[in-house]
Amino acid sequence: MPAYEFRGGKGTDISVVERPVEVSHFGTPGGNSISACELTCALITSLARNVSQGSQSLKEGRWDRKLYTGEELSGKTLGVLGLGRIGREVASRMAAFGMKIVGFDPMVTAGSIPNVEVVGLEQVWPVADYITVHTPLIPQTRNLINEASLSKCKKGVKIINVARGGIVDEKGLLAALKVGNCGGAALDVFSEEPPKSPGLLELIRHPKVLATPHLGASTAEAQVRVAVEIAEQFIALNDPDSGYQVTGAVNAPSISDLREPANTPWLTLGKALGSVAAKTAGDVQSWTGYSVNITTQGELTRNMRFLKTAVLSGMLGASGMPTST
């Protein structure tokens, strides 16, 4: 019987996906998006108006109106790194504040998002007054914002991270805050959670840092939405005719596509071609160093990602390994 692991959340780096192929992982990528977006917007406005510092000052019995004079967001430039679901929602909302939005995402083409000027990463640094990150934590994004990139930014740039700890190099950020290259930061996520290391605690306690304990998904609505998505996917996995779709597969192809009757001939063809390729390649022990390229042609096959599964299933089956699709 197949095993399924369900974990509510936006990212996949918390889930251990490199396990035997019998364990399939499915995410609920849309469940937390609005909540994370709204927290991001709240942090941006709080940084602009010194809300956290002003509140703390008043609680301590002071009336520091002049000390905590802020700035308007209207007319400022917001750099959005990562234009997926959350990044786009943030861009839409902050554009309503009168901000100019510049965004970077290697998967997004210029002109495809209203009110967002899609540019290269190096073009974001010198123009943005605020920079918010909405990318997954992968090798290419680890320490994406660091002391070197901050030195290319406007003096006093403000950084917001509600995505994943590790995308912002915390040591570099602290150094930039100390010399004034960075004018403030709002952090909801950290490389260590809960934060315990002296350097990280120093960053959190910096007077120009607004820190929250990973609250991006912490709304009643997000928790309900994630629970519903999990339930719907579980129903879809166990009843193909339920009307629900399996989405958010992390280490498995679209189950819905595999179950689609119209795709059965393509699955059969893919497995057959994989079997032929395996027999041509010789004994499985000699496969080290081989790569498999699957090429399709025509509009019909453009989105047939499940063909990879079929071809690999055919190859492994021909080698004597047990498989299933």
Q: From CA 79, how far away is CA 232, in angstroms rounded?
A: 35
Q: Which element (helix H / strand E) includes 37?
A: helix 33-49
Burial class (CB in 10 A: 0-12, 13-18, 19+), 143: middle
Rg of the chain (C-alpha set)? 24
Choosing from 72, 122, 192, 193, the catalytic residue is: 193
* Coil vs helix vs strand at 136: coil
Q: 51-59 and 33-49 are packed helices; what angle lies between their axes, rounded to 10 degrees?
A: 70
Half-sphere exposure of 136 (CA within 13 A, CB side): 13
CA distances from 177 to 51, 147, 164 (A): 18, 10, 20
Q: What residues have CB less than 8 Å from 53, skipping those under 6 apart?
A: 68, 207
Active-site choice (147, 214, 259, 260): 214
* Active-site option among 88, 134, 164, 225: 164
| 25 catalytically annotated | no
Tokens of 316: 């492994």
Whether 214 sits among the annotated catalytic residues: the reply is yes
Q: In a 3-state reduction of DSSP, which class is residue 96?
A: coil
Active site residue 164: yes
Strand partners, 218: none
Q: Annotated catalytic sites, by residue?
A: 164, 193, 214
